[in-house]
């Protein structure tokens, strides 16, 4: 998968608004593999909606979204399962971790599906993120900032062409943000993948190819 | 342990599953028990008989203390033959001389009795015709005896003398000496039981033997028949009842009774199986309900699994395996209980019908297996559909 193409896309809830000033909505936008994008937004401008449309779990939008030339409205459930295992990864803003599983199990539940990373590599990440003491701690007992790091590891434990990260550092200090950005970019670069970062203010300091205002 | 299972087993209610297990076990057991019992008991009512299986009636004259002839004259027989409901008529011919018989094992006679013979035309006898014949000069005679005689021996005589009980196949091998006396003569012959009947309370010999023996031992006796065997098109025909009543005859309704018993057995087994199926169906709903509740309570987990790339098939699998495992366990316990209960009632049945053959439980295995497959299939489909609704809801 090389391109995500948004053509005159608009969330249906915005359809009644008179004036849409955005670099994304109702525009023709292409996200290309191998590039780094930042989507900046104020709250309520449809940032998480954008992620959910592209990730295929909401369809309440106008316009067309295509992966390469494939209209994503026509993808079957089996197609989506395949895409989410092999081509597209999303770090959810609300994380969607399993609170009853430990930090390691939360990463493993994805990694066992894809068979992508060795246990050693995952433990190295824990080390780099500075939460190696939390490996066997249930996620429910961890802070939101710690959970964000676990969710990032889970998002990276698969092959992908595009990585969507929805407000990844909202609860992290600058040093931890830096570490997260490094690990993320290292993995994305190795895979030759595109990264689309969204933010409502504080964002990862990276050399973005393009910055879009939502 | 699979992480997916670790997640999805959250909120499983042991109580609901025990409820399902008990209810389904009860339902399954009732269905299988009714079915198996019917299979086991039916042959008792439908066992092979030495007398033809077509619809026939035994007609005799009403016996009263006022006297009057109890035999049928040839004009009466002809009249009955000419009735529209009659297919054919045969006369019972009774022996007019003394008959005694003794049975023994290994040549030692230990059971002797006075008795008599009767014969009906060979066409009414349904037994191997190579054995059912007699020619003057033969030294053995084939005999068909009532099953009840066997019961008298087994439960009356053998019981009180501590002798072994015998089955139908064994009695055919027992030596039987028949002594014919009359016309100032006596002759010893060998008798061999070649068949049994539940429908006629008489000891049958071939008609050719009867003709010969009556001629030899009671040449002057009147051989008018006292009973007639009548093959009819439809035994429930009103005309038969009217005719029989007008002429003051009696008919033996034994066959009708056996038919009614079989029918009754069928109805009762059917009703019990119906109740069992109903309980099974209800237990099926209990299971579906608790699975639906489980899916409902775990909706968020299921949705998240689907969002991180798990397929609906993979996510449904733990619940499908769970229900199939439960169903298999129920089937296993039901079959175990069934064979235990069956052992219990079969002992009673054998005590009542020692000649009954043992049937296997294959039919019950097959029925249980089919029910298991059907219910499991429905479970699998329903769970998959329920999981798919989660997918649409997120």
Say what the pLDDT of residue B132 is. Answer: 85
Q: Which residue of A has its CA nearest to B298?
A: A98
Query: Is B3 in Cβ contact with A108 (below 8 Å)?
Result: yes
Structurally, chain A folds into a number of domains equal to 1
B389/A contact by beta carbon, under 8 A: no
Residues in chain A within 8 Å Cβ distance of B301: 98
With helix as H, strand as E and coil as C, how does chain B read?
A: CCHHHHHHCCCCCHHHHHHHHHHHHHHHHHHHHHHHHHHHHHHHHCCCCCECCCCEEEEEECCCCCCCCCCCCHHHHHHHHCCCCEEEEEECEECCCEEEEEEEECCEEEEEEEECCEECCHHHECCCCCCCCCCCCCCEEEEEEEHHHHHHHHHHHHHHHCCCCCCHHHHCCCEEEEEEEECCEEEEEEEEEEEEECCCCCCECCHHHHHHHHHHHCCCCCCCCCEEEEEECCCCCHHHHHHHHHCCEEEECHHHHHHHHHHHHHHHHHHHHHHHHHHHHHHHHHHHHHHHHHHHHCHHHHHHHHHCCCCHHHHHHHHHHHHHHHHHHHHHHHHHHHHHHHHHHHHHHHHHCCCCCCCCCHHHHHHHHHHHHHHHHHHHHHHHHHHHHHHHHC
Interchain CB distance below 8 Å, A77 and B301: no
Question: What integer pLDDT is reported at residue A60 of this predicted model?
Answer: 93
Tens-digit pLDDT profile for residues A191-207:
999 999 999 878 888 89
Chain A hits for B309, Cβ within 8 Å: 81, 84-85, 110, 113-114, 158
Q: Tell me whether residues B309 and A110 touch, CB distance under 8 A.
A: yes
On the question of pLDDT at A14 being above 60, the answer is: yes
The CATH number covering residue A59 comes to: 3.40.50.300
Which band of pLDDT confidence, cut at 50, 70 and 90, is reported for residue B234? Answer: low
Residue B186 in this model has a pLDDT that exceeds 70? yes
* Contacts with A100 from chain B: Cβ below 8 Å: 6-7, 10
Asked if the model's pLDDT at residue A84 lies above 70, the reply is yes
Indicate yes or no: CB of B309 within 8 angstroms of CB of A77: no
Q: CA nearest B390 in A: which residue? A: A57
Provide the residue ranges of all domains of chain B, joining segments of one domain with +: 3-47+258-393, 94-221
In tens, the pLDDT along A28-72 reads 999 999 999 999 988 888 888 999 999 999 999 999 999 999 999
Query: pLDDT over 70 for what percent of chain B?
Result: 87
What are the chain B neighbours of A85 within 8 Å (beta carbons)? 309
CB < 8 Å to A57, chain B: 307, 394
- Quick check: A112 and B6 CB within 8 A? no
Distance (Å) from the alpha carbon of A136 to chain B's nearest alpha carbon: 14
Which residues in chain B have their CB less than 8 angstroms from residue A154's CB? 308
Residue B360 — pLDDT band, cuts 50, 70, 90?
A: confident
In this complex, do A113 and B308 lie within 8 Å of one another by their Cβ atoms?
yes
ipTM > 0.90? Answer: yes
What's the pLDDT tens digit per position in B271-286?
988 998 898 888 888 8
Boundaries of domain holding A42: 3-213
pLDDT 10s digits, B76-92: 888 888 888 888 888 88
pLDDT at B46: 56
Q: Which of A116-120, B113-117, B172-176 comes out lowest in average pLDDT?
A: B172-176
**Which pLDDT value is given to residue B108?**
61
Mean pLDDT (chain B, rounded): 83
pLDDT at A210 over 90: yes
């Amino acid at each position: 998968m090389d391109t995500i193409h948004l053509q005159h896309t608009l969330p249906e809830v915005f359809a009644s608004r008179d004036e849409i000033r955005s670099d994304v909505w109702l525009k023709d936008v292409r996200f290309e593999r191998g590039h780094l994008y930042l989507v900046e937004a104020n709250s309520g401008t449809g940032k998480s909606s954008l992620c959910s449309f592209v990730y295929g779990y909401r369809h309440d939008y106008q316009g067309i979204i295509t992966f390469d030339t494939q209209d994503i409205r026509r993808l079957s459930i089996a197609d989506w399962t395949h895409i989410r295992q092999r081509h597209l990864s999303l770090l959810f803003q609300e994380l969607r971790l399993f609170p009853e599983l430990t930090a390691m199990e939360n990463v493993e539940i994805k990694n066992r599906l894809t068979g992508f990373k060795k246990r050693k590599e995952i433990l190295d990440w824990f080390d780099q993120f500075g939460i190696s003491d939390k490996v066997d701690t249930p996620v429910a007992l961890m802070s939101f900032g710690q959970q964000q790091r676990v969710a990032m590891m889970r998002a990276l434990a698969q092959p992908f062409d595009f990585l969507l990260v929805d407000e990844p550092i909202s609860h992290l200090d600058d040093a931890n943000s830096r570490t997260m950005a490094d690990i993320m970019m290292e993995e994305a670069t190795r895979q030759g993948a595109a990264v689309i970062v969204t933010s409502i203010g504080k964002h990862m300091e990276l050399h973005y190819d393009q910055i879009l205002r939502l | 342990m699979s992480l997916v299972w670790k997640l999805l087993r959250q909120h499983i209610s042991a109580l609901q599953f025990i409820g399902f297990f008990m209810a389904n076990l009860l339902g399954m057991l009732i269905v299988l028990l009714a079915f198996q019992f019917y299979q086991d008991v039916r042959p008792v009512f439908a066992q092979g008989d030495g007398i033809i299986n077509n619809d026939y009636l035994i007609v005799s004259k009403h016996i009263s203390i006022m006297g009057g002839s109890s035999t049928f004259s040839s004009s009466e027989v002809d009249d009955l033959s000419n009735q529209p409901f009659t297919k054919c008529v045969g006369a019972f011919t009774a022996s007019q001389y003394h008959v005694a018989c003794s049975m023994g094992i290994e040549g030692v006679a230990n059971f002797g009795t006075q008795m008599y013979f009767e014969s009906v035309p060979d066409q009414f006898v349904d037994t191997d015709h190579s054995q059912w014949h007699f020619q003057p000069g033969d030294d053995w005679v084939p005999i068909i005896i009532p099953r009840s005689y066997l019961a008298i021996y087994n439960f009356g005589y053998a019981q009180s003398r501590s002798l072994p009980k015998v089955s139908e196949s064994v009695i055919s091998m027992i030596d039987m000496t028949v002594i014919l006396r009359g016309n100032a003569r006596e002759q010893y012959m060998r008798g061999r039981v070649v068949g049994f009947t539940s429908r006629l309370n008489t000891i049958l010999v071939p008609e050719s033997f009867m003709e010969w023996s009556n001629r030899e031992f009671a040449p002057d006796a009147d051989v008018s028949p006292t009973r007639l065997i009548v093959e009819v098109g439809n035994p429930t025909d009103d005309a038969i009842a009217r005719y029989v009543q007008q002429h003051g005859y009696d008919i033996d309704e034994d066959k009708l009774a056996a038919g009614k018993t079989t029918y009754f057995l069928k109805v009762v087994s059917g009703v019990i199986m119906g109740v069992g199926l109903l309980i099974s169906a209800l237990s099926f709903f209990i299971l579906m309900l608790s699975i639906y509740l489980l899916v409902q309570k775990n909706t968020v987990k299921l949705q998240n699994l689907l969002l991180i790339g798990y397929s609906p098939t993979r996510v449904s699998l733990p619940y499908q395996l769970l229900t199939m495992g439960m169903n298999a366990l129920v089937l296993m316990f039901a079959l175990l209980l069934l064979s235990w209960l069956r052992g219990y009632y079969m002992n009673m049945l054998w005590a009542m019908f020692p000649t009954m053959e043992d049937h296997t439980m294959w039919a019950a295995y097959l029925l249980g297996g089919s029910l298991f497959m059907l219910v499991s299939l429905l479970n699998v489909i329903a769970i998959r559909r329920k999981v798919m609704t989660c997918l649409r809801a997120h």
